[in-house]
Structure 1
């Protein structure tokens, strides 16, 4: 660029901030070695961080983690074949590396360094239902208003490995960082939130997920409330006002010094639903009162649960200092995630059938919500393929049998039940006659996804049918989705 060009008024007035002095590269060997207390074998730079050699791409830093049954050092060669720039190891290897005593401790140390060096506003998201979708929606909203300077945990990287990994991947120039936090037992979120130290903590809802390990709904609420323990001073807790456990969550948040912002239909909610009507694309047009202003926006995702989710998103975006207009646009453009609401148009005799992919996760609350959504979906016939809900312990037979009511309310024509736990629902439905739901609606019970595929093929989908596929991930209904979407002719986003 010439000297004359540099004198152009628009260039001279371009705003300069402290962020402009931050590095563009994710990590250098010197930064990593200092952060983890290790020794660098050579100088290098990294563009990403990975813990699975199969996911490594050019320029990544590979952490050779050790677990009870696996040693990442066995995959060093594979990581570098895939393009790794360097590795963090606990023994010398013939590649660029950082030598440390404990690679897992090094991952946590690098995560802490990433958090400290960035001025990003950090948002933590947890809840029994909807946390991944809400995390993605908050990301879309803030990424839009920050012009790409927003980071988030990908997939469901929400455990003791995924959270620190997500932190290490946060660029120094990030303006916002959104991190999902999950748990199976009490105490797990406590460890995650103290790593993230969020400025905003969101709880989507409380439902009987993991009740096998926690024993009661109150205990689940307590476990989710652990997210407040890591809140930065003056942080904001975004809570579901319509939850039966709102008071319990609010008391815990306030005891830890958080400012509480509630969302929902309740008259006392800080972000309150005023009105909602169906939109042309199958979603909803939402009007909400945010105290000092009212906002009207479209939610592309169908279902009443997404109306509540959108209020949580708006509350979190405002608490983080984001732009509500950008948030509204992001919600209007969001499409379903793989395994969490993605909609596929699949080939069927006479035209197309709709397949709704909710195969990644399931608990009683999310089952009811998605069945209600299926019931509101225009269709010639409605089919539900339901896999077992895991981690319900002694409550499992009761919660599975209780799905009979939402199935009837959704006017489902055919039900395929998959997995051992679904036998309780099959027995309950069978009381109305062999293979018949109340009102003459048919069902079948299958042991595995292969049998479910055969059952759905045998049923014979036709144009205009709508199929909901939902179950816990371990049931493997993603195989059924893959089988039928291999004949996909289009996709609804």
Structure 2
């Protein structure tokens, strides 16, 4: 492949002045992530100024810099680097002939984005680009665009938001040919007066659709019609996915796979596909159907997509399953430590309840953040799913979990602790051979450290 950006191309894209001639093979604004050949963008933030790390970036092999003040080394200078990052992303999108897919939703964004990448890359290796990690905000999205190789056949971009209006700005940068909403749930409810308002904010993704674009909607969502109305003015075509009768991409037949996961026969508008979803849970089937809908919409290879879905490994913090050594035997550790909201809590508790275990079902549940004035009610409502999952012991972490502790009462053996450090000791004492332990909470609770402690630092 040819180089990603030349200094002349960068200067033209961002309206800057080039000092020195260089070519870069990557882009980053985090000096810790600089690789040889990268463009390092010195962003100014509230806490720090990227210009302080210019020398460090050059030492690590950065080929060029994007800065807003004079520096030593080859660079392009602009008035404002944050705006220049947007312009570089916009220029990358303008020069690309790739089919572009935008992904948003309250739950399942990252997992669906990664599954889509695997599905499209399976048939066209090395020519599919996607945003890495959860780079889905006002800096992560333009960075992901700026990193897109000029020869890419497909580009997949995750877009998130905490407030109304944020997705509208991101989708106009991405300009997707396909805009996919995974699901609507009460995530970030602190900033919205209702779940309907969240649906409206997620529906902003349709505003950036390219002419002739496709909107992909969750058929089983109570907000389906609301999303369809939002997509209507912008989409040439709407495709629904789900389990319900009438969905355009539907799971007509489901059966639990012998080694976990689900065997699915899916019907599409002009095809039928039998495949296996490697990860367990009905919510993962829903994500897989969304993936098939998007692959179909861009004219991708459905058979290759089915093979990729069977092989797809869970992401650390988002359903990764580890067998850990305990007490002379092994236990299953389900790592959902990256994030949590009411809908994802219920979905993963259901997965735990369906897990065949020789020992006990144990949960370590951290507080769900940004739920606003109804936070206590959302936490307390988890009592029933916990009971339905047959949980034997619950370790509840964080102040917000007090409401759940009260709701559970004496129905479930439990401990309520203030932080992840206290929970780690209890989890180590509790887990035994044959047990299955689910660890889930908002990222700010820090339960990823608990998972690593139990796993001994090993995957």
Query: 8 Å contact 1:123–1:198 — kept in the other structure?
Result: yes
- Residue in structure 1 matched with residue 377 of structure 2 by the alignment: 398
1:487 CA displacement: 6.0
Residues 183 and 487 of structure 1: CA distance in aligned 2, closer, same or farther (over 3 Å): closer
**Secondary structure at the counterpart of residue 434 of structure 2:** coil
Q: Choose which of 430, 454, 477 in structure 1 pairs with 2:425.
A: 454
CA separation in 2, counterparts of 1:97 and 1:245?
Answer: 48
Q: Is structure 2 residue 161 aligned with structure 1 residue 183?
A: yes
Q: Choose which of 165, 186, 200 in structure 1 pairs with 2:178.
A: 200
Q: Is structure 2 residue 188 aligned with structure 1 residue 210?
A: yes
Query: 8 Å contact 2:28–2:40 — kept in the other structure?
Result: yes
- Residue in structure 2 matched with residue 486 of structure 1 by the alignment: 456
- Residue in structure 2 matched with residue 150 of structure 1 by the alignment: 128
Query: 8 Å contact 1:124–1:202 — kept in the other structure?
Result: yes
Residues 378 and 149 of structure 1: CA distance in aligned 2, closer, same or farther (over 3 Å): same
CA separation in 2, counterparts of 1:359 and 1:82?
Answer: 32
Q: Could you list the per-position Cα deviations for residues 373-394 of structure 1 after superposition, in whole angstroms to 9, with x for gaps in the alignment?
A: 0011111111100000011011
CA separation in 2, counterparts of 1:328 and 1:480?
Answer: 34
- Residue in structure 2 matched with residue 445 of structure 1 by the alignment: 416
Q: Could you list the per-position Cα deviations for residues 429-486 of structure 1 after superposition, in whole angstroms to 9, with x for gaps in the alignment?
A: 22x3xxxxx1xx3100010010001111232x22111110000001100110111111
Q: Choose which of 444, 447, 459 in structure 2 pairs with 1:477.
A: 447
Q: What does residue range 113-128 of structure 1 map to in structure 2 within 5 Å? A: 113-128=91-106
- Residue in structure 2 matched with residue 17 of structure 1 by the alignment: none
Question: What is the number of equivalent residue pairs in this alignment?
Answer: 458
Q: Could you list the per-position Cα deviations for residues 278-305 of structure 1 after superposition, in whole angstroms to 9, with x for gaps in the alignment?
A: 1122000001111222111100011110
CA separation in 2, counterparts of 1:29 and 1:314?
Answer: 39
Query: 8 Å contact 2:42–2:67 — kept in the other structure?
Result: yes
- Residue in structure 1 matched with residue 437 of structure 2 by the alignment: 467
Which segment drifts farther, 124-133 or 421-430?
A: 421-430
Q: Could you list the per-position Cα deviations for residues 136-173 of structure 1 after superposition, in whole angstroms to 9, with x for gaps in the alignment?
A: 00000111111210000000000000000000000000
Query: 8 Å contact 2:322–2:332 — kept in the other structure?
Result: yes
CA separation in 1, counterparts of 2:406 and 2:230?
Answer: 41
Q: What does residue range 94-493 of structure 1 map to in structure 2 within 5 Å? A: 94-379=72-357, 380-430=359-409, 432=410, 438=411, 441-459=412-430, 461-486=431-456, 488=458
Query: 8 Å contact 1:357–1:469 — kept in the other structure?
Result: yes
What is the TM-score when the length of structure 2 is the normalising length? Answer: 0.98
CA separation in 1, counterparts of 2:86 and 2:102?
Answer: 17
Query: 5+ unaligned residues in a row in structure 2: which ranges?
Result: none
> Which structure is larger by alpha-carbon Rg, 1 or 2?
1
1:24 CA displacement: 1.1
TM-align CA RMSD: 1.0
Query: 8 Å contact 1:88–1:98 — kept in the other structure?
Result: yes
What is the TM-score when the length of structure 1 is the normalising length? Answer: 0.92
Query: 5+ unaligned residues in a row in structure 1: which ranges?
Result: 1-22, 433-437
Query: 8 Å contact 2:296–2:302 — kept in the other structure?
Result: yes
